[in-house]
Amino acid sequence: MWIEHIKLKNYRQYRDVSLKFGKPKDKKNFIVIQGANGSGKTNLVNAITWCLYGKEKHMGSKYAGLPMVNTLAAEELENGKIIEVEVEIQLRDQDGKKINLKRNMSYKKSDEGKLLKIPHPIANSEDGSRLTMMREINRDMIDVEDPSYVLRYLIPESIEEYFFFDGERLDDYFRETTGTRIREAVFKISQVELLEKVIEHLEKRKNEFIKKEKHLGSKAQEIISQKEVYEESLRNYKEQLKEHKTQKDLAEQKEEEYNEKLRGCSAPAAKRLQEEREEIEKDLNSIEENIIELEKRKSDYLISISPQIFAYHALIKANTLISSREEAGDIPPNYKKNFIEGLLDKGECICGTDISTDNEHRKRIEKLLKQCDEITNISEELITLNVAVKSALEEIEDFPERRESYNRKLREYEEMRKSKSKRLKKISEEISGMDTDKISMWEEKLQEYKKLKEDLIGKIKEMEYRCGEAEKTIKKLESELEKELEKEEQLEETKNIIAFCNTCLEQATQIKERIMKEVRKEIEDKTKKQFFELIWKREEYKDITIDEEYNISVQHQSGMEGIGTMSAGERQALALSFMAALNSVSGFDVPIIIDTPLGRLSKEPKNNIARKLPNYLKEKQVILLVTDSEYTPEVREKLLDRLIAEYRIDFRETSVGNIAKVVTYE
Amino acid sequence: MNKKSRDRIFIDSADRKDFERLKKPDAPLAGKENKELFMMALIVGYNEGNRVPLKDKYGFVRLEYLSEKEDAVIKSIAISEEDSLGVLLDKDKVYTIAEEYAAGGIKLLKNQVMGKRYGDYIKWFESKIIDKFTEISANKK
């Protein structure tokens, strides 16, 4: 599917704009829209998501809460009159058939000059707007009665973020230490919600069947009541957990937003301090990781050395006994006892002499036997054992030095942590104390969201623990209930129903897990393939894997692991590859729109990615919304052969608001 | 148990839960292998002088997984216990002594590990090792 054109009327800074995108063909699949920061690139994506879902899903703080009607048009509108905001998208499906989507929203200018939203008389969206859809069927454009329903199967809202994404936020997927976001992405792409609903429904029905049973004993009834209480708690905990996670994501986004503001602020001192802080935060992260790793190594060492130290006297005893036998010349022995016994049994000496009768030779051998004890049979084992014992004793001697070396290194890290934390505090104080109101306010907000995020992480952990406890209790009560039901002879039918529900539940869970596993594997393969297409230092990397915990890992040729050691450009290449994989695995044929794909990169990695970008998603229509600093002549040159269309947002600020036009790039 | 076929170390089935508990994610010994937990239980039992015969055996560690030093500790304890190198002629006896000490130590080990706050066990354990090391050094003088 590809976008043929987009028309915007009275939408935010776009008063009347029409954009034509050609069909991707002959290796040309890119559309570039270039505009300065704040010119309205992201609002183009918002216009698309508003048209599709009735929501501006990428809304920044600048426009949040403001009416979406164009300010100049609103200014010119007479009091008492109505104005319409309209976004129209024309798509073409795989067969080239048209799909036309149009969303309208009306505003009225009150007698006092205020803009009021007027819900559409036949609104079909929560925000009071109306979406219409026309599809080309048999050369006719047919009106689609339930556009939102049909859209769910064409471009589902739940996975919108994997089609229209913010290049600057891509890194977030790989910055977390857990694979939560990746797991969520795989979950959404797998579309296993249906199975989740099946599981939920089966649980509910099973409980209903049990409750309806009239012949239940009092013990079983008590267990059911108890189970209901825990199930209710579990539902609450899960809801709270979801809420906390959403809040945490929001806090993280806000934190990044303020980081960005400080990073890009006009005061050089604040900018420099922000850059220093980001470096220190990175260092602190790695120091903390080093401390954890070192503490683990120290703990492993203590656990491995402890048996030797606590068994010291036993080791000394063994060493003394074996050494004394060695000193006495018994170890190694001249003969082993079982060797001499063997000769006597055979009746022949190794030299061939007959010792089968009670002759002088046999007596000599028997004398040798008396001098040998059984220990001679295990002489090799004793020699080996004594070597190991001596080495264990030597290691005990090394204990204070080894321990001190761990402690010294830990102290060093602790010192570094302290001094860096102190500096962070100082930086925050310095920024807060700056006499520009905005900067000190941004800093205050930044610290506020940081704290909020930390609090929410704590709450998430607590809620996860509570969910785990409730789930464990429910499981236990279920098995108790099953035992109780077993005792009842009259409940044959109910027992069969429960058994059936349990089998279905087990199957549904297994299917869900299997689908997620398969999708995870597919995403892993496709990310890898795309990454090796996109990365310029191909020979440096060996493999990319997504493990069962959804942690993504990148292996260097040297065997070293680590997204942590990748440069910003390489990480962006990984993120773009991951998104392309999600997009492809989703099974939805939707164009990709990337807002600021090269946003945070410096010149060199930017050119490196641009050089390889033409290899990206060859068959899809890719719309890139780029800033002027991203779309440098070098970058443009690299993309030129792959461009279908190229636009520039012509933006001007007026006394009543901002106006943007989209013109052909020159 | 046929002496010649002894290829693993056993614990008492009744102690299995305690050993498993020590490996749970919330325990400071999470991620440790069976042989490490066995060695720790063994030294706790040995230092307490508490030997408890196994009632119902459950295979816990294959002998081939023991390191040379772990095996040396087990054999040295047997030698010291019997005051003779001759005990090594009876492989089954050597490991039975270790198993009985581990059975005598596991409950106490579990209390030591789980009875403290998460980060405190290793610190406490370190201080115990230092005490023991200091005692060894003092005796040498």
Question: Which residue did the predictor score with more confidence, A636 or A138?
Answer: A636
Contact residues on chain B for A305, CB-CB shorter than 8 A: 129
The arithmetic mean of pLDDT across residues A569-581, rounded, is: 84
Q: What is the pLDDT of residues A166-215, one digit of tens each?
A: 877 776 666 554 566 777 778 877 778 888 899 989 988 888 888 887 77
Contact residues on chain A for B49, CB-CB shorter than 8 A: none
Name the residue facing A302 among B71, B88, B125 (closest C-beta). B125
Instruction: Give the CA diameter of chain A.
Output: 137
The arithmetic mean of pLDDT across residues A402-425, rounded, is: 95
User: Do residues A365 and A339 make contact, with C-beta atoms less than 8 angstroms apart?
Assistant: no
Question: Which residue did the predictor score with more confidence, A193 or A283?
Answer: A283
User: Do residues A613 and A630 make contact, with C-beta atoms less than 8 angstroms apart?
Assistant: no
- CA-based radius of gyration for chain B: 15
Give the nearest chain B residue to A312 (CA atoms). B136
CB-based contact B76 A309, cutoff 8 Å: no
Helix axes B120-140, A268-310, angle to 10 degrees: 50
DSSP per-residue string spanning A61-100: TTTTTS-SB-HHHHHHSPTT-EEEEEEEEEEE-TTS-EEE
Contact residues on chain A for B130, CB-CB shorter than 8 A: 403
Is A382 part of the contact surface with chain B (CB cutoff 8 Å)? Answer: yes
3 state DSSP class of A595:
strand
DSSP per-residue string spanning A305-330: HHHHHHTHHHHHHHHHHHHHHHHTT-
Q: What is the pLDDT of residues A287-342, one digit of tens each?
A: 998 998 999 999 999 999 999 999 999 999 999 999 998 888 877 877 777 888 88
- Tell me which DSSP letter residue A375 carries: G
DSSP per-residue string spanning A195-218: HHHHHHHHHHHHHHHHHH-TT--H
User: Do residues A612 and A534 make contact, with C-beta atoms less than 8 angstroms apart?
Assistant: yes
Taking 90 as the threshold, does the pLDDT of residue B132 lie above it?
yes
User: Do residues A470 and A234 make contact, with C-beta atoms less than 8 angstroms apart?
Assistant: yes
Is A435 part of the contact surface with chain B (CB cutoff 8 Å)? Answer: no
Q: Calculate how close chain B gets to A402, using CA atoms only, in Å.
A: 12
Q: What is the pLDDT of residues A328-377, one digit of tens each?
A: 887 787 777 788 888 888 888 888 888 888 888 888 888 877 777 778 87
User: Do residues A97 and A133 make contact, with C-beta atoms less than 8 angstroms apart?
Assistant: no
The arithmetic mean of pLDDT across residues A73-100, rounded, is: 92
User: Do residues B22 and B29 make contact, with C-beta atoms less than 8 angstroms apart?
Assistant: yes
Taking 70 as the threshold, does the pLDDT of residue A565 lie above it?
no
Contact residues on chain A for B38, CB-CB shorter than 8 A: none
Structure tokens at A125: 């969206």
Residues in chain A: 666
Among the listed residues A81, A70, A76, the one whose alpha carbon sits nearest the alpha carbon of residue A110: A81
Q: What is the mean pLDDT of chain A?
A: 87
Which range has the top average pLDDT, A82-96, A548-562, A578-592? Answer: A82-96
Give the nearest chain B residue to A299 (CA atoms). B122
CA A459 centroid distance within chain:
19
User: Do residues A131 and A97 make contact, with C-beta atoms less than 8 angstroms apart?
Assistant: no
pTM: 0.56
Q: What is the pLDDT of residues A586-638, one digit of tens each?
A: 878 889 899 888 876 777 777 778 877 777 777 789 999 998 888 888 888 88
Residue B49: Cβ-neighbour burial (10 angstroms; 0-12, 13-18, 19+): exposed
Amino acid, single-letter form, for residue A72: L
pLDDT of residue A216: 80
Cα–Cα dist A628/A648, whole Å: 9
User: Do residues A206 and A501 make contact, with C-beta atoms less than 8 angstroms apart?
Assistant: yes
Q: What is the pLDDT of residues B64-115, one digit of tens each?
A: 999 999 999 999 999 999 999 999 989 999 999 999 999 999 999 999 988 8
Structure tokens at A168: 């600057």
| Per-residue confidence band for B1, with pLDDT thresholds at 50, 70 and 90 | very low
Cα–Cα dist A460/A345, whole Å: 77
User: Do residues A195 and A515 make contact, with C-beta atoms less than 8 angstroms apart?
Assistant: yes
Structure tokens at A117: 């939203």
Helix axes B91-114, B68-82, angle to 10 degrees: 110
Q: Note every long-range contact of A467-475, with CB atoms under 8 Å and residues 24 or more positions apart, other chains counting.
A: A467/A234, A467/A237, A467/A238, A467/A241, A470/A230, A470/A231, A470/A233, A470/A234, A470/A237, A471/A234, A473/A230, A474/A227, A474/A230, A474/A231, A474/A234
User: Do residues A348 and A355 make contact, with C-beta atoms less than 8 angstroms apart?
Assistant: yes
Contact residues on chain B for A403, CB-CB shorter than 8 A: 126, 130
Give the N- to C-terminal CA distance of chain B in Å, as an integer.
Answer: 45
Amino acid, single-letter form, for residue A222: E
Residues 6+ apart with CB under 8 A from A353: A361
List strand residue ranges (DSSP E) for A211-370, in order: none
pLDDT of residue A493: 83
With a pLDDT cut of 70, the percent of chain A lying above it is: 96
3 state DSSP class of A115:
strand
Contact residues on chain B for A291, CB-CB shorter than 8 A: none
Structure tokens at A68: 């979406």
Give the nearest chain A residue to B81 (CA atoms). A314
| Per-residue confidence band for A666, with pLDDT thresholds at 50, 70 and 90 | confident
Residues 6+ apart with CB under 8 A from A471: A234
Cα–Cα dist A472/A474, whole Å: 6
CB-based contact B86 A377, cutoff 8 Å: no
User: Do residues A171 and A94 make contact, with C-beta atoms less than 8 angstroms apart?
Assistant: no
3 state DSSP class of A662:
strand
- Tell me which DSSP letter residue A358 carries: S
Pairing of strands A643-654, A30-34: parallel
DSSP per-residue string spanning A557-580: TTS-B-STTS-HHHHHHHHHHHHH
User: What does the CA dihedral B78, B82, B88, B92 come to, rounded to 10 degrees?
Assistant: -70
Cα–Cα dist A92/A209, whole Å: 50
Taking 70 as the threshold, does the pLDDT of residue A68 lie above it?
yes
Residues 6+ apart with CB under 8 A from A364: none
Cα–Cα dist A339/A372, whole Å: 10
Neighbours of B66 (CB within 10 A): 18
Contact residues on chain A for B136, CB-CB shorter than 8 A: 309, 312, 396
CA dist list (Å): A546 to A85, A185, A526: 44, 12, 11
Contact residues on chain A for B90, CB-CB shorter than 8 A: none
Contact residues on chain A for B126, CB-CB shorter than 8 A: 302, 403
User: Do residues A133 and A151 make contact, with C-beta atoms less than 8 angstroms apart?
Assistant: yes
Is A304 part of the contact surface with chain B (CB cutoff 8 Å)? Answer: yes
> Bridge-partner residues for A9, per DSSP?
A16, A86
CA A626-A632-A636 angle, to 5 degrees, is: 80
Name the residue facing A311 among B46, B83, B126 (closest C-beta). B46
Q: Calculate how close chain A gets to B71, using CA atoms only, in Å.
A: 9
CB-based contact B133 A308, cutoff 8 Å: no
> Bridge-partner residues for A662, per DSSP?
A649
Taking 60 as the threshold, does the pLDDT of residue B2 lie above it?
no
Name the residue facing B85 among A307, A309, A325 (closest C-beta). A325
ipTM at complex level: 0.96
Name the residue facing B85 among A315, A375, A399 (closest C-beta). A375
Is A410 part of the contact surface with chain B (CB cutoff 8 Å)? Answer: no
Helix (H) or strand (E) holding A54: none
Taking 80 as the threshold, does the pLDDT of residue A425 lie above it?
yes
CB-based contact A318 B76, cutoff 8 Å: yes
Cα–Cα dist A413/A294, whole Å: 10
Amino acid, single-letter form, for residue A469: E
Question: Which residue did the predictor score with more confidence, B46 or A208?
Answer: B46
pLDDT of residue A352: 83
Residues 6+ apart with CB under 8 A from A62: A38
Q: Note every long-range contact of A219-225, with CB atoms under 8 Å and residues 24 or more positions apart, other chains counting.
A: A219/A484, A220/A481, A220/A484, A220/A485, A220/A488, A223/A477, A223/A480, A223/A481, A223/A484, A224/A481
CA dist list (Å): A167 to A13, A55, A410, A573: 22, 20, 38, 10
Give the nearest chain B residue to A297 (CA atoms). B122
Question: HEC profile for A501-555?
Answer: HHHHHHHHHHHHHHHHHHHHHHHHHHHHHHHHHHCCCHHHEEEEEECCCCCEEEE
Cα–Cα dist A539/A542, whole Å: 8
Structure tokens at A97: 């058939």
With a pLDDT cut of 90, the percent of chain A lying above it is: 38
pLDDT of residue A651: 85
Cα–Cα dist B123/A640, whole Å: 63
Among the listed residues A134, A56, A65, the one whose alpha carbon sits nearest the alpha carbon of residue A97: A134
Name the residue facing B68 among A299, A375, A388 (closest C-beta). A388
Is A318 part of the contact surface with chain B (CB cutoff 8 Å)? Answer: yes
Cα–Cα dist A584/A87, whole Å: 27
